[in-house]
Amino acid sequence: MATTNIFRNSYEQPENKLTYNFLCLIEHMENQKAFCEFLIDNKFKLSESADVEIELQPYKAGSIPDGKISFDNGKYLLFFENKTHRMKLDIEQLERHLEKHCQNENAFLLVITSRGSDKGSIDSLNKQYDNKVVFKTWAQVADKLEHLPSFMAKQFVEYGKLSGEFEYMNEISSTDIDCYCNLPGRMQSILKEVKSNIDFTQYELIPSKSSWDDKDGRMGHKFFLNKRNDYGQWFFYGIYYNTKVHQIIFKEGVPELAFFFGINPDYRKQLSQNGDFKSALGNLEKLDEEIGEKNRFEENLTKLRTHSKWLLLFKRVPLTELGNFSYQDVKKRFEEILSQLKNEEAFYQEMMAPPE
């Protein structure tokens, strides 16, 4: 008999609701093994028919994690501690969890928080406790779930977005401050220089016009093409800095360098009936998996990763992963995206090819 029930979350505190919903998701979701492998982060290997058991930890005195996940008939144990944007990481609490529950070589502690900056504290803890801790942010969890073919996963991500539980809200790191301070000035200057020096003819594109776009939580250049087929298409390259409109959760809790390709929503049904075009979207996603690119293309025609019907396809990378926000790197990434779209023939012919 299942431990959790998707219709019986009786908790009132938001943190407890999130914990219960997360454990319920793991217990009942499709593609359970793929998600669990993401959670354990190579700490151990699951068998092909691995069973998963959930245990809700009762609240009482002492060091009690928020939950326990057992794999392969209890051979491996993953204790779970949840911290949202309301609650800071308590290292002493984690140390107590590790000393009480994770002395067995097959027992580990999963910590999920809303703050990417917590990773430094977890890294220090892992040095002390022989890599017993798996660390994830809620943004990373949401990003993984959005790429799984699971109805429950999509519902969980939507719940997290609407409730605000996945947001990175109560802390601004020095990296974030630097990003925001430079956004109006130096970043804008770099993006404009990139736009001026892209040779679109190299990708057989004919831009009809472009404009500086600062709305809907993004700022950068929006391009329109002189194209063969008119779906009201456009594309954008710049900074995605606010999730409110598109509700696409930041991967690492910070703004992102992003490419968005959009269409008029009136054409979504027509495109969804085009088998070659849908295959092309799938190929673009697979392309980045094949080259080991973490920040891959995400299509929003068949998988609905955002409720914004204007967005067809996007690709983004957290600013913290760029190192230096340099002209050379930003330009190179833009050129790589254009090249990938040009080389995916069915997408290029349908969306970007100029009139004959």
What CATH number should be reported for the domain holding residue 238? Answer: 3.30.1460
**Which own/partner contact pairs does 146-151 have at CB distance under 8 Å and 24+ positions apart?**
146/298, 146/303, 146/305, 147/298, 148/30, 148/31, 148/34, 148/35, 149/30, 149/31, 150/29, 150/30, 150/31, 150/35, 151/30
Same domain, 181 and 209: yes
CA 157 to mean position of chain CA atoms: 10
Per-residue pLDDT reduced to its tens digit, 78-115: 999 999 877 888 999 999 999 999 999 999 999 999 88
Same domain, 124 and 25: yes
**Residue with the two structure tokens 């993984």:** 144
Same domain, 134 and 216: no
Mean pLDDT of the chain: 87
Pairing of strands 298-299, 76-82: unpaired
Instruction: Express as a percent the part of the chain with pLDDT over 90.
Output: 55
What's the pLDDT at 62? 60
Backbone angles phi, psi at 69, to 5 degrees: -120, 125
Question: Quick check: 133 and 108 in contact, CB under 8 A?
Answer: yes
Q: 184: which 2 tokens?
A: 């109006």
What's the pLDDT at 176? 52
Among 136, 163, 190, residue at a domain's last position: 163
Q: In terms of DSSP H, where are the helices of the chain?
A: 14-28, 32-40, 91-101, 119-128, 138-146, 151-163, 174-182, 188-196, 268-272, 275-290, 327-343, 345-351
Same domain, 347 and 205: yes
In the predicted structure, residue 250 carries a pLDDT above the cut 50? yes
In the predicted structure, residue 179 carries a pLDDT above the cut 90? no
Q: Domain range for residue 44?
A: 14-163
Listed residue (259, 341, 329) closest to 295, CA to CA:
259
Listed residue (261, 279, 273) closest to 351, CA to CA:
261
Q: What is the mean pLDDT of residues 183-202?
A: 85
pLDDT band at 181 (very low <50, low <70, confident <90, very high): low
pLDDT band at 60 (very low <50, low <70, confident <90, very high): low
The answer to the question of residue 137 being in a domain is yes
Same domain, 212 and 126: no
Burial call 54-86: b when 16+ CB within 10 Å, e when fewer: bbebeeeeeebbbbbbbbbeeebbbbbbbbbbe
Same domain, 158 and 188: no
What's the pLDDT at 292? 56
Domain containing 79 — which CATH number? 3.40.1350
The answer to the question of residue 227 being in a domain is yes
The answer to the question of residue 5 being in a domain is no
Instruction: Annotate 198-266 with DSSP letters as a single string.
Output: --GGGGT--EEEEEEEEETTEEEEEEEE--SS-S--EEEEEEE---TTT----SSSS-EEEEEEE--GG
Question: Quick check: 223 and 207 in contact, CB under 8 A?
Answer: yes
Same domain, 64 and 83: yes
The answer to the question of residue 307 being in a domain is yes
The answer to the question of residue 169 being in a domain is no
Looking at this protein, which amino acid is placed at residue 242? N
What's the pLDDT at 344? 95
What's the pLDDT at 314? 96
Number of domains in the chain: 2
**Cα 255 to Cα 251: distance, rounded to the nearest angstrom:** 9
What's the pLDDT at 180? 55
Q: What is the mean pLDDT of residues 271-293?
A: 85
The answer to the question of residue 91 being in a domain is yes
Same domain, 187 and 64: no
Among 139, 163, 187, residue at a domain's last position: 163
Q: 9: which 2 tokens?
A: 């979350």
pLDDT band at 58 (very low <50, low <70, confident <90, very high): low
**Cα 254 to Cα 168: distance, rounded to the nearest angstrom:** 8
pLDDT band at 171 (very low <50, low <70, confident <90, very high): very low
Among 163, 189, 208, residue at a domain's last position: 163
